[in-house]
């Protein structure tokens, strides 16, 4: 299997659907489209065509076809699109015809994106955004992925890169050409304060929730002693019988994860084994250890046990559950009281979770970074942040170089020549 | 005369002289062929050697016992350490040299060199044996044979001089040879491109009003370009600083249409860092004055080099604008400035030893590779000479990389990126600049030089002695001292119980070895250069360590060899542009490929996978 093959895939959602979009990318895209439709449409113009199987000559569908010659296509290669009827049988039939053609094969997951990236159609940050977009299930995920794929992050990084290049050029002019008089001396304070501003700007984005949260969901862990009603509350929140409920203490032993979107925000509800120090047999004890580990990874802990006895954490929310139960144990008046079985308090609880989650997931309309991007960005941020304390131009230049390298790693581009371009464009230097 | 050698070097400029000398030092029987003996070691232009980035190159060539540093000292009439106020890594030693003394020093060293013969003559053509070069034919049709030939012929290929509306083809002897040699190189399939450079008019020093101009004296210090030159022997002179005025700019602006640069007669790219005065005035119209150094060309000549007004305007315009500059109202021009356009070889056709990849037995060094400057030429001469000698002696050439020398930075840039303008060294080109200081060139490189046998006896003795002194200093710096002990020496340190080695204490900018002498260090009899070097290492230690780990990654990728015959077009996922660049550069390793402009991490991954797969296939076969 080689990356030089022509690949195809259904690019729209799983059939059945109103229409299905099949994309073909690679050197044989035009041959494949012609084999099905008889002739190529004009580049970038939709045309209605009868599609027939080249071998059986059977009519497959009447569809819209489009032709994008490379390199100005989404993948950077020759690209064809077939907008067919979205029934399972139609899509399957067209895919089979394509599969039977020489040099064509089904695309691997993400392969279109990877090709777009290798052909320089998008940088790493954009490619990541697109892959998130394809996975997007909730409205918030979708909006945020569009942000990244549209290049909002890349544009931001580009702005930073050119700002740092400008600073580098000033400092390098000072280092390589100050003896040739024609450079205006770089003003140390100016460089320092600009670096600090950039670091601050990066911090704003670093302080925001990570993009992965959107894909992974807000982790809500239910905790409390056995029989405190954790599983019952979970079932009520996710509106189905996801966990077994019984009056026997120690029913839940393993960790149960249930993903669900509420008001467009992805949540991951996690039920755990009830925590008790005595009386637990071996399997239950393992479950208890796992529960404790879940508390560490949680974004929100709903604590159903006795007030104040939960893990000491800012993420903890006290809940008084089983309001209608004979053994109901009320907590302080400020604590939310719910009855998952009877219903009271549940709306308030959901509202509380959504409120908290908004602080934890990125807002759809703001740039957010994933973990990989955050690591590089943090590296750049730290390098810039140290500059105000440095007096030595040589070290400032080094810190700027490290910041540039970190941002280059983020987008996958590279740069000493760019810096020299900046240098010579800006100053009149040389003998 | 002997007609058979191991190595023939064509051209007696800075590149050719270093190439011939280093090969001869390594024991290779070498012939240095140049038009005339007198042209050997000539400085074609500005009589200055060193400077920022360039001074580093001089020290590096010197660390291999090269000629340029010692010759510069023998001829230096003015010493200046550029960037003295900044960190040692960007300080650049620079001298102005007396042309005659410089040439004499080069001749002295070449004459004293064993294994080296100087041949006067014009090289008319190379002798080819298929794709292998096996010697040269001179203009008188006599032949000299050798296993390896190094071309170091400077700007001789299709040179064209411009002065205002006048152009002169070539303008120097040997034009016929240049044409036949040039044609041969084209026929051999080497890619050729065109560049231009220029030079300012030379002024008669007796017509300059020195008294009205600010003086720039030589440095007081006693540093030298080469540690082998124990002191400054030549009398030191002053330079002066003149400036252009509004009137100068007016004259130039009014006559721009008479400059071949603007009339379109020259369309080759000139160096951005060495722009002509007409370029400066055109592109930076907001500046109303430019500084111009007036640099005497020697002790017994009246020629003065006005550094900063390189030009190709007509001679009458040159005279008019020069006379509007400070102190030059009565100045007489002896030789007008001019621009030169010339052919050069696309250096991407070369490998890292500067050998032409597709031909056996042929190396190229110096300005012929698209660089500019004596120092750049000398460094390439050294590398090509070592490469050729190692090939002849069938041993591995030392692998220098971007983390060990400016020379390797330059070669790497040349063979991977090619040139779009005459290439000049700048400290900004070296990403590991903090490690690559002019003051530690010996420590960095002389061990390599010693290992391949290119240090002469005298240097070898000096170097061994220095190594042991350096080891002693480093050992002494291992001693741990408390903050009290340091504070008792009058140093300002916090008395917080810290105990650390002297080396670590030196990280504080206010602590120096000299100030700590009273601790009983036995270092005061050692040379100051050595101490300064060690101090600088200590000062930047945290940064050096971080670069060290960066270099580890680089060197790991440097181990992944791609092979010369990798078919990039066959690697799926590479754009046409990438394939073109990679085919031009033909990187030897994955690390080199990553430095080719426009190569993305994803492309790199594709290349790696392809190379691995091919390797596996080759192993299986
Ligand atoms: C107009 C001008 C201005 C410059 N200004 C500066 C400057 O300000 N600062 C600076 O650092 N550099 C400057 N340079 C560049 C610098 O002079 C060169 O880069 C450097 O000298 C190149 O060294 P080289 O050894 O490659 O070639 P060269 O020094 O040119 O030496 C070439 C040698 O080859 C010989 N030769 C050529 N062809 C043949 C043949 N067929 N047979 C036998 N012998 C042959 C020549 O006689 C000559 O000795 C300038 C160059 C020019 C032309
Ligand atoms: N009436 C009433 N009963 C409840 C409520 N919540 C839980 N219960 C009952 O309490 C008992 C224990 O509930 P579970 O949800 O299994 O408790 P748990 O915390 O998951 O217990 P373990 O898994 O054993 O740790 C069951 O019999 C539930 O029916 C409630 O809101 N009202
Ligand atoms: Mg349970």
Both B327 and B359 in one domain: the answer is: no
Task: State residue B55's pLDDT score.
Answer: 96
- Ligand 2 atom 21: the closest Cα is on which residue? A227
Residue owning the nearest CA to atom 15 of ligand 1 = B373
Q: Quote the pLDDT of residue A272.
A: 78
Of B86, B287, B543, the CB nearest to A175: B86
Q: Report the CATH number that the domain containing residue B15 is assigned in CATH.
A: 3.50.50.60
Give the ligand whose atoms come closest to the C-alpha of residue A328: 2
Q: Is residue B327 located within the same domain as residue B295?
A: yes
**Strand B333-335 versus strand B166-169 pairing type:** unpaired
- Cis amide leading into A16 (omega within 30): yes
Please give the pLDDT value at position B494. 82
In a domain, B457, yes or no: no
Same domain for A268 and A208 = no
CB contact under 8 A, A416 and B417: no
Domain boundary among B313, B339, B365: B339
Residue identifier of the C-alpha nearest atom 6 of ligand 1? B45
CA B363 to ligand 1 centroid distance, Å: 17
**Percent of chain B, pLDDT > 70?**
93
Domain CATH code at residue A306:
3.40.50.300
**Which residue in this structure is represented by tokens 């042991």?**
B468
pLDDT at A1: 38
Would the CB of A250 count as within 6 Å of ligand 2?
A: yes
Co-location of A87 and A155 in the same domain: no
Do residues B46 and B175 share a domain? yes
Mean pLDDT calculated for residue range A139-163: 72
- pLDDT at A149 > cutoff 60: no
Residue A5 pLDDT: 83
Give me the mean pLDDT over the B316-339 stretch: 92
Question: Is residue B473 included in any domain, yes or no?
Answer: no
| pLDDT at residue A184 greater than cutoff 70 | no
CATH number of domain containing A12 = 3.30.1360.120
The arrangement of strands across the sheet holding B116-120 comes to B116-120, B30-34, B7-10, B148-151, B362-364
Residues, CB-to-ion distance under 5 Å, ligand 3: A 231, 251-252
Whole-number mean pLDDT of chain A? 78
* Strands across the sheet containing A19-25: A47-52, A59-68, A79-85, A19-25, A6-10, A104-106
- Are residues B263 and B384 both part of a single domain? no
Residue that terminates a domain, selected from B291, B307, B339: B339
Q: Is the pLDDT of residue A257 over 60?
A: yes
- Identify which of A224, A244, A245, A253 to mutate to test ligand 2's pocket (most ligand atoms within 8 A of the CB): A245
Is pLDDT above 90 for B203?
yes
Pair B333, B429 in one domain: no
Q: Which of A73-77, A410-414, B334-338 has the lowest mean pLDDT?
A: A410-414
Domain annotation covers residue A208: yes
Q: Per-residue pLDDT for A416 more than 70?
A: no
Q: Is B467 within the bounds of a domain?
A: no
Residue A335 has pLDDT above 50, yes or no: yes
Q: Of ligand 2's atoms, which has the minimum distance to the CA of residue A250?
A: 24
Q: Is residue A104 part of a domain?
A: yes
Number of domains in chain B: 4
Q: What is the CATH number of the domain that holds A422?
A: 1.20.120.430
Q: Express each pLDDT in B103-122 by its tens digit.
A: 999 999 999 999 999 999 98
**Same domain, yes or no, for B23 and B165?**
yes
Task: State which residue of chain A sits closest to B570, comparing Cα positions.
Answer: A4
Name which residue leads in pLDDT, A326 or B344. Answer: B344
Domain boundary among A88, A116, A144: A116
Which residue's CA is the closest to the ligand 1 atom numbered 38? Answer: B153
A235 and A173, same domain (yes or no): no
Question: How many residue contacts between A and B have a Cβ separation below 8 Å?
Answer: 121
Chain A neighbors of B46, CB-CB under 8 A = 431
Q: What pLDDT sits at residue A14?
A: 63
Question: What pLDDT is recorded for position B112?
Answer: 96
For residues B57 and B78, membership in a common domain is answered with: yes
Q: Which residue has its alpha carbon closest to ligand 2 atom 26?
A: A247
What's the rounded Cα separation, in Å, for the pair A359 and A209?
Answer: 8
**What pLDDT is recorded for position B173?**
47
List Cβ<8 Å contacts ≥24 apart for A194-200.
A194/A163, A194/A167, A195/A167, A195/A384, A195/A385, A195/A387, A195/A388, A195/A396, A195/A399, A195/A400, A196/A384, A196/A385, A196/A387, A196/A388, A198/A160, A198/A163, A198/A164, A198/A384, A198/A403, A199/A381, A199/A384, A199/A385, A199/A387
Set of chain B residues whose Cβ sits within 8 Å of the Cβ of A392: 86-87
Of the listed ranges A144-148, A330-334, A417-421, B603-607, the least confidently predicted one is: A417-421
Contact B43, B68 (CB under 8 A): no
Q: What angle do CA B149, B153, B154 make, to 5 degrees?
A: 140
Mean local confidence (pLDDT), B491-519: 82
Place A213 in a pLDDT band, splitting at 50, 70 and 90. confident
Q: Is the CB of residue A235 below 6 angstroms from any atom belonging to ligand 2?
A: no
Token couple for A356: 């908290």
pLDDT at A427 over 60: no
Domain end (from A71, A86, A116): A116
Q: What is the pLDDT of residues B608-617, one digit of tens each?
A: 767 776 776 7
Q: Does residue B221 sit in the same domain as residue B258? A: yes
Domain end call among A60, A90, A116? A116
Closest CB to A71: pick one of B575, B594, B602: B575
Mean pLDDT of B497-520: 82
pLDDT tens per residue, range A3-51: 578 999 888 766 666 778 899 999 999 999 999 999 999 998 889 999 9
pTM, 2 dp = 0.76
Examine the domain organization and report whether A259 and A292 are in the same domain: yes
- Mind spelling out the 3-state secondary structure of B486-529? HHHCCCCCCCCCCEEEHHHHCCCCCCCCHHHHHHCCCCCCCCHH
Higher per-residue confidence, A320 vs B68: B68
The answer to whether residues B231 and B334 belong to one domain is: yes
CB contact under 8 A, A177 and B83: no
* Model confidence band, residue B70 (pLDDT cutoffs 50, 70, 90): very high
Q: What pLDDT, on a 0 to 100 scale, did the predictor assign at position B565?
A: 79
Q: Are B77 and B178 within one domain?
A: yes
The chain-wide mean pLDDT, for chain B, equals 87
Residues in chain B with CB shorter than 8 Å from the CB of A423 are 428
d(C-alpha B455, C-alpha B457), whole Å: 7
Residues of chain B in contact with residue A105, where contact means CB-CB under 8 angstroms, are none
Ligand 1 atom closest to residue A431's alpha carbon, by position in its atom list = 8
Which ligand 2 atom minimizes the distance to the CA of A273?
A: 25
Work out the percent of chain B whose per-residue pLDDT is above 90: 46
Whether residues A285 and A402 fall in one domain: no
Residues A352 and A365 in one domain: no
Higher pLDDT, A124 or B590: B590
Residues A94 and A158 reside in one and the same domain: no
Nearest to B52 among A76, A176, A398 (CB): A176
Question: Which of B44, B174, B202 to probe ligand 1 with, by most ligand atoms within 8 A of CB?
Answer: B44
| Any atom of ligand 2 within 6 Å of the Cβ of A125 | no
Q: Is the CB of A223 under 6 A from ligand 2?
A: no
How many angstroms separate the CA atoms of A251 and A385, rounded?
A: 52
Out of B544, B570, B593, a domain closes at: B544
Ligand closest in space to the Cα of A230: 2
| Range from A79-88, B289-298, B458-467, B490-499 that averages highest in pLDDT | B458-467
Q: Which of B150, B371, B373, B381 to mutate to test the pocket of ligand 1 (most atoms within 8 A of CB)?
A: B373
Q: Are residues A255 and A314 in the same domain?
A: yes
The alpha carbon of residue B74 is apart from the nearest alpha carbon of chain A, in Å, by 24
Best residue among B8, B9, B10, B11 to mutate for probing ligand 1's pocket (most ligand atoms within 8 Å of CB) is: B11
Please determine, for residue A428, whether its predicted confidence score (pLDDT) is greater than 60: no
Residue numbers of the domain that contains A41: 6-116
Domain membership of residue A1 (yes or no) is no
Is there a single domain that holds both residue A73 and residue A151?
no
Check if A324 has its Cβ closer than 6 Å to any atom of ligand 2. yes
Output B1 or A164, whichever has higher pLDDT: A164
* d(CA A294, ligand 3 centre) in Å: 15
- Tokens 């065509």 locate to A49
pLDDT, greater one: A134 or B594: B594
pLDDT grade, residue A109 (50/70/90)? low
**Judgement on whether residues A127 and A201 belong to the same structural domain of the protein:** yes
Counting the structural domains of chain A, the total is 3
Q: Is the pLDDT of residue A131 over 70?
A: no
Residues of A in contact with B306 (CB under 8 A): none
A339 close to ligand 2 (CB < 6 Angstrom): yes
Q: Do A118 and B574 touch (CB under 8 A)?
A: yes
**Tens digit of each residue's pLDDT (9 = 90 or more) over B264-306:** 667 667 667 677 888 888 888 888 888 899 999 888 889 999 9
Query: Choosing among A25, A178, A179, which should be mutated to test the B contact, i.e. which has the most B CBs within 10 A?
Result: A179
Interface check A115 vs B, CB under 8 A: yes
Residue from the list A5, A412, A423 with its beta carbon closest to the beta carbon of B600: A412
User: Which has the minimum average pLDDT: A309-318, B54-63, B145-154, B462-471?
Assistant: A309-318
Q: What is the pLDDT of residue A430?
A: 40
Domain shared by B241 and B308, yes or no: yes
Instruction: Decide which of B252 and B619 is more confident.
Output: B252
CB–CB of A264/A139 below 8 Å? yes
State how far the Cα of B395 lies from the Cα of B26, in Å rounded to an integer.
12
Residues A99 and A180 in one domain: no
Q: What is the pLDDT of residues B527-575, one digit of tens each?
A: 678 888 888 899 888 888 888 877 877 777 777 788 777 888 887 767 7
In a domain, B242, yes or no: yes
- Supply the DSSP string of A29-95, one letter for each residue: HHHHHHHHHSSPPPTT--EEEEEE-TTT--EEEEEEEEEE-TTSSSSSS-EEEEEEE--HHHHHHHH
What pLDDT does A355 receive? 86
Handedness of CA B162, B163, B164, B167 (dihedral sign): negative
Give the separation between CA B185 and CA B369, rounded to whole angstroms.
13
Whether residue B463 is contained in a domain is answered as: no
SS3 A281: coil
Q: Which two tokens stand for residue B67?
A: 């000629």
What angle do helix axes B576-585 and B406-417 make, rounded to 10 degrees?
130
* Interface test mutation site (partner A, options B573, B576, B617, max chain A beta carbons within 10 A): B573
Give the DSSP per-residue string, A110-156.
THHHHHHHHTTSS-HHHHHHHHHHHH--SHHHHHHHHHHHTTHHHHH
Residues A316 and A428 in one domain: no
The number of beta carbons lying within 10 Å of the beta carbon of residue B264 is 7
Do the strands A316-320 and A300-303 form a parallel or antiparallel pair, or are they unpaired? parallel
Question: Measuring from each residue's beta carbon to the nearest atom of ligand 1, which residues come in under 6 Å?
Answer: B 10-16, 33-35, 39, 44-46, 122-123, 152-156, 174, 177-178, 181, 197, 199, 340, 366-367, 372-374, 377
Compute, in angstroms, the gap from residue A261 CA to the centroid of ligand 2: 24
DSSP-derived letter for residue B145 is E
Is residue B470 a part of any domain in this protein? no
More confident residue, A289 or B203: B203
Q: How confident is the model at residue B147 (pLDDT cuts 50, 70, 90)?
A: very high
Whether residues B66 and B185 fall in one domain: yes
How far away, in angstroms, is A56 Cα from ligand 1 center?
73
Q: Which two tokens stand for residue B428?
A: 């900004």
Check pocket membership of A226 for ligand 2, CB cut-off 6 A: yes
For residue B30, the enclosing domain spans: 7-196+342-451
Report how far apart the first and last C-alpha atoms of chain A are (Å, whole number).
56
**Residue ID of nearest Cα to ligand 2 atom 14:** A229
């Amino acid at each position: 299997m080689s990356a030089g093959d022509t690949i195809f895939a259904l690019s729209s959602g799983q059939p059945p659907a109103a229409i299905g979009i099949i994309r073909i990318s690679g050197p044989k895209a035009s041959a494949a489209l012609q084999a099905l439709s008889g002739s190529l449409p004009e580049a970038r113009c939709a045309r209605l065509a009868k599609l027939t199987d080249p071998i059986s000559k059977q009519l497959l569908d009447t569809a819209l076809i489009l032709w994008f010659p490379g390199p100005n296509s989404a993948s950077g290669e020759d690209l064809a699109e077939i907008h067919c009827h979205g029934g399972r049988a139609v899509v399957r039939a067209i895919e089979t015809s394509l599969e039977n053609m020489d040099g064509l094969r089904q695309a691997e997951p993400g392969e279109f994106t990877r090709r777009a990236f290798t052909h320089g159609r998008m940088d790493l940050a954009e490619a990541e955004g697109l892959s998130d977009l394809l996975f997007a299930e909730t409205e918030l995920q979708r909006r945020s992925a569009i942000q990244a794929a549209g290049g909002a992050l890349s544009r931001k990084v580009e702005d930073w890169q050119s700002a740092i290049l400008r600073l580098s050029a000033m400092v390098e002019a000072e280092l390589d050409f100050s003896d040739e008089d024609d450079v205006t001396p770089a003003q140390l304070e100016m460089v320092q304060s600009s670096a600090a501003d950039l670091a601050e700007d990066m911090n704003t984005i670093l302080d925001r929730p990570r993009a992965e949260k959107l894909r992974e969901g807000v982790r809500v862990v239910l905790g409390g002693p056995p029989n405190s009603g954790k599983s019952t509350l979970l079932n009520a929140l996710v509106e189905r019988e996801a966990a077994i409920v019984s009056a026997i203490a120690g029913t839940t032993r393993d960790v149960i994860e249930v993903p669900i979107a509420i008001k467009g925000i992805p949540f991951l509800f996690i039920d755990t084994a009830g925590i008790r120090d005595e009386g637990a047999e071996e399997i239950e004890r393992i479950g208890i250890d796992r529960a404790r580990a879940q508390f560490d990874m949680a974004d929100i802990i709903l604590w159903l046990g006795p007030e104040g006895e939960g893990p000491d954490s800012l993420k903890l929310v006290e809940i008084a559950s089983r309001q209608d139960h004979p053994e109901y144990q009320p907590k302080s008046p400020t604590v939310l009281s719910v009855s998952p079985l009877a219903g009271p308090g549940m709306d308030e609880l959901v509202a509380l979770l959504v409120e908290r989650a908004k602080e934890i997931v990125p807002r759809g309309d703001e740039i957010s970074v994933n973990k990989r991007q955050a690591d590089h960005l943090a590296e750049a941020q730290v390098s810039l942040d140290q500059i105000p304390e440095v007096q030595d131009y040589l070290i400032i230049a080094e810190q700027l170089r490290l910041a540039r390298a970190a941002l280059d790693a983020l987008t996958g581009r590279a740069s000493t020549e760019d810096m020299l371009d900046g240098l010579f464009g800006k100053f009149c230097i040389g003998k | 005369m002997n007609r058979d050698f191991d190595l023939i070097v064509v051209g007696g400029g800075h590149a050719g002289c270093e190439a011939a000398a280093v090969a001869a030092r390594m024991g290779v029987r070498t012939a240095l062929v140049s038009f005339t003996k007198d042209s050997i070691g000539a400085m074609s232009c500005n009589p200055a050697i060193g400077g920022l980035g360039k001074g580093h190159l001089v020290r590096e060539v010197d660390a291999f016992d090269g000629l340029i540093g010692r010759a510069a000292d023998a001829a230096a009439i003015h010493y200046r350490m550029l960037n003295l106020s900044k960190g040692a890594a960007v300080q650049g030693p620079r001298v102005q040299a007396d042309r005659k003394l410089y040439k004499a020093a080069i001749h002295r060293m070449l004459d004293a060199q064993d294994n080296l013969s100087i041949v006067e003559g014009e090289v008319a053509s190379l002798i080819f044996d298929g794709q292998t070069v096996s010697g040269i034919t001179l203009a008188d049709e006599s032949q000299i044979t050798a296993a390896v030939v190094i071309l170091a012929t400077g700007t001789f290929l299709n040179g064209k001089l411009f002065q205002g509306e006048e152009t002169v083809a070539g303008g120097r002897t040997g034009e016929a040879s240049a044409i036949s040699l040039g044609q041969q190189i084209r026929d051999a399939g080497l890619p050729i491109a065109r560049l231009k450079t220029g030079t300012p008019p030379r002024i008669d020093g007796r017509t300059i009003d020195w008294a009205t101009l600010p003086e720039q004296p030589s440095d007081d210090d006693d540093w030298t370009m080469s540690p082998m030159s124990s002191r400054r022997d030549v009398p030191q002179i002053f330079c002066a600083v003149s400036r252009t005025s509004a009137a100068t700019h007016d004259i130039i602006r009014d006559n721009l249409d008479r400059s071949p640069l603007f009339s379109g007669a020259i369309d080759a790219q000139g160096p951005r860092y060495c722009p002509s005065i007409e370029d400066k005035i055109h592109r930076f119209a907001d500046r109303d004055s430019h500084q111009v150094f007036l640099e005497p060309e020697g002790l017994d000549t009246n020629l003065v080099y006005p550094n900063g007004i390189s030009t190709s305007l007509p001679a009458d315009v040159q005279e008019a604008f020069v006379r509007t500059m400070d102190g030059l109202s009565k100045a007489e021009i002896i030789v007008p400035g001019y621009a030169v356009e010339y052919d050069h070889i696309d250096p991407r056709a070369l490998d890292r030893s500067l050998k032409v990849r597709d031909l056996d037995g042929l190396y190229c060094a110096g300005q012929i590779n698209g660089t500019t400057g004596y120092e750049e030429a000398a460094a390439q001469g050294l590398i090509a000479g070592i490469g050729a000698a190692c090939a002849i002696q069938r041993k591995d050439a030392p692998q220098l990389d971007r983390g060990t020398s400016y020379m390797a930075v330059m070669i790497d840039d040349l063979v991977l990126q090619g040139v779009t303008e005459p290439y000049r060294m700048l400290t900004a080109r070296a990403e590991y600049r903090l490690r690559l200081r002019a003051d530690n060139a010996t420590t960095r490189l002389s061990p390599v030089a010693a290992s391949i046998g290119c240090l002469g006896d005298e240097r070898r003795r000096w170097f061994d002695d220095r190594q042991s002194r350096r080891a002693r200093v480093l050992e002494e710096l291992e001693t741990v001292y408390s903050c009290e002990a340091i504070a008792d020496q009058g140093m300002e340190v916090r008395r917080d119980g810290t105990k650390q080695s002297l080396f670590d204490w030196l990280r504080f900018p206010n602590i120096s070895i000299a100030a700590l002498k009273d601790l009983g260090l036995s270092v005061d009899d050692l040379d100051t250069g050595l101490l300064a070097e060690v101090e600088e290492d200590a000062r930047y230690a945290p940064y050096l360590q971080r670069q060290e780990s960066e270099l580890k990654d680089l060197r790991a990728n440097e181990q992944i060899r791609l092979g010369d015959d990798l078919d990039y077009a066959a690697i799926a996922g590479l754009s046409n542009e990438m394939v073109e660049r990679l085919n031009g550069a033909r990187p030897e390793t994955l690390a080199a490929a990553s430095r080719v402009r426009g190569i993305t991490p994803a492309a790199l991954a594709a290349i790696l996978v392809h190379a691995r797969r091919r390797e596996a296939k080759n192993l299986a076969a």
